[in-house]
Copies of this chain bind each other. A is one copy, B any other.
């Protein structure tokens, strides 16, 4: 069994790898809120276990074995989030923190039972895909809300899950994955978005919109 810290490193490397290019020691350290020297140490340890590849000053990459573990932890995390949300009614801005602790201790058996209870879901409460037991991640096609134009309608596909206050804010507008809305107006000069959600108007600032990803984008006639 890996330590919790090692699991967190693998998970973080995976997420950073997904987001963008090279995962440097510094980026990884910042993401995990530790000092670069600590990241160097853990990278050496993970390398000795053949879970990551690493050349000095060149950044880290997950090996197949490391990626499999990372995906397993992410699966635990996202299934737990959805379970807490659906079965116990934990608000969506609280599930992340809770799952962060549980993901390291839940057994495969309990996970399978939650999976069955939830009907083998493919996305967590924030819209993030849940990898299956074999580490296959369901594909989701979505674009940042910031790319939307006047008059376009769409459905919320996914939102960033790492900011509780933001999630509460989005919740107050009902901006959950699955919710449809239409862009009434994008203010010029990178301004805020005025949108229509089920007949209600809402103004969404650009910084907030950056955290929202949408799908099913369609041109609509202005009513």
Q: Which residues of A contact B (CB under 8 A)?
A: 84, 87-90, 94, 98, 101-102, 105-107, 109-110, 113-114, 117
**B residues in contact with A114, CB < 8 Å:** 88
Instruction: Report which of B90, B101, B107 forms a contact with A105, defined as CB distance below 8 A.
Output: B101
Which chain B positions have C-beta within 8 A of A84?
A: 110
The answer for the CA separation of A93 and B109 in the assembled complex, in Å, is 13
Could you say which residues of chain B place their CB within 8 Å of the CB of A110?
84, 88, 90, 98
* A91, closest chain B residue (CB): B109
Residues in B with CB closer than 8 Å to A105 are 101-102, 105
Contact A109 B94 (CB under 8 A): yes
Taking CB as reference atom, which chain B residue is nearest A89? B113
Pairs across A and B, CB under 8 Å, 19 listed: A84-B110, A87-B87, A88-B110, A88-B113, A88-B114, A88-B117, A89-B113, A90-B109, A90-B110, A90-B113, A94-B109, A98-B107, A98-B109, A98-B110, A101-B105, A102-B102, A102-B105, A102-B106, A105-B105
Residue of B nearest to A103 (CB): B105
Chain A binding surface, main DSSP class: helix
- In this complex, what residue of B is CB-closest to A87? B87
Q: How far is the CA of A107 from the CA of B98 in the complex (A)?
A: 7
Shortest beta-carbon distance from A5 to chain B in Å: 14
How long is the Cα–Cα vector from A114 to B83 in the complex, in angstroms?
Answer: 12
Inter-chain contacts of A113 with B (CB < 8 A): 88-90
A114 to chain B, nearest CB (A): 7
From A117, which residue of chain B is reached at the shortest CB distance? B88
Residue of B nearest to A94 (CB): B109
With A and B bound together, what is the CA distance between A164 and B87 in angstroms? 28
Known: A84-B110, A98-B107. 4 other contacts (CB 8 A): A89-B113, A90-B109, A90-B110, A94-B109
- Which chain B residues lie closer than 8 Å to A88 at the CB level? 110, 113-114, 117
Q: In the complex, which residues of chain B have a beta carbon less than 8 angstroms from the beta carbon of A98? A: 107, 109-110
